[in-house]
């Protein structure tokens, strides 16, 4: 019986494939071919950092934004008088309720109210602030002045007495309002002169 001959196995080490160059393997770290390992040319991270710094507002911009967020109402002459009178009535009522109608406390609270009235009145009605604050002081005294026998005459006498005894606070608050108005008026005139000076001729 005929037997087919088999080829004897070849023993020995196999020949390994030729090692591919780094470009063929995609680089030692598995990076795509042709891309450098470092940051992109042109300073991409530097441009990003510069963009972030440019996007941040400066100190002047933050200060202007803070000023815009603060309350800055503009009251007319009548509105400033109503505001001052209403605030003094409320403060006088609280003074009578909590502190037993102390005229000294009422006078102390009158000064910052005068300042706010002079600051919040609009530019066209600046001269009304020193006029309305004494009226508001007298209106608010209705809540803290002594009523005497409880009648209208006793109430009026108590208001007159309070005006005489607390005249220092009345004059002080009016002086604060007048000084604030003068300062605002001077600043307004300077701005107008600067605007007229910077205006192009013709």
Give the model confidence (pLDDT) of 52-89 as tens digits.
455 565 555 565 555 555 566 789 999 999 999 999 99
pTM > 0.85: no
Give the model confidence (pLDDT) of 74-83 as tens digits.
899 999 999 9
Q: What Rg, from alpha-carbon coordinates, does the chain have? A: 42
Q: Where are the domains of the chain?
A: 74-198
pLDDT > 90? residue 1: no
% of the chain with per-residue pLDDT over 90: 46
Give the model confidence (pLDDT) of 109-166 as tens digits.
999 999 999 999 998 899 999 999 999 999 999 999 887 777 788 888 989 999 999 9
* Whole-Å CA distances, 121 to 48, 76, 110, 118: 47, 6, 17, 6
pLDDT > 50? residue 28: no
* Whole-Å CA distances, 192 to 44, 187, 198: 48, 9, 10
């Amino acid at each position: 019986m005929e037997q087919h001959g088999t080829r004897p196995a070849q023993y020995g080490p196999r020949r390994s494939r030729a090692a591919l160059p780094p470009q063929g393997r995609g680089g030692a770290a598995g990076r795509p071919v042709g891309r450098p390992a470092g940051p992109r040319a042109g300073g991409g991270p530097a441009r990003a950092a510069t963009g972030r710094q440019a996007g941040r507002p400066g100190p002047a911009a933050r200060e202007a934004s803070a000023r815009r967020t603060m309350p800055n109402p503009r009251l007319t002459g009548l509105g400033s008088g109503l505001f001052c009178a209403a605030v003094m009535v409320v403060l006088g009522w609280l003074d009578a309720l909590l502190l037993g109608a102390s005229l000294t406390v009422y006078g102390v609270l009158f000064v910052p109210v005068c300042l706010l009235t002079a600051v919040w009145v609009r530019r066209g009605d600046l001269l009304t602030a020193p006029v309305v604050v004494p009226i508001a002081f007298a209106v608010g005294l209705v809540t803290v002045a002594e009523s005497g026998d409880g009648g209208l005459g006793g109430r009026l006498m108590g208001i007159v007495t309070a005006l005489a005894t607390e005249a220092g606070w009345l004059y002080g608050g009016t002086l604060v309002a007048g000084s604030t108005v003068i300062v605002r008026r001077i600043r307004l005139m300077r701005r107008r002169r600067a605007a007229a000076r910077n205006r192009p001729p013709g």
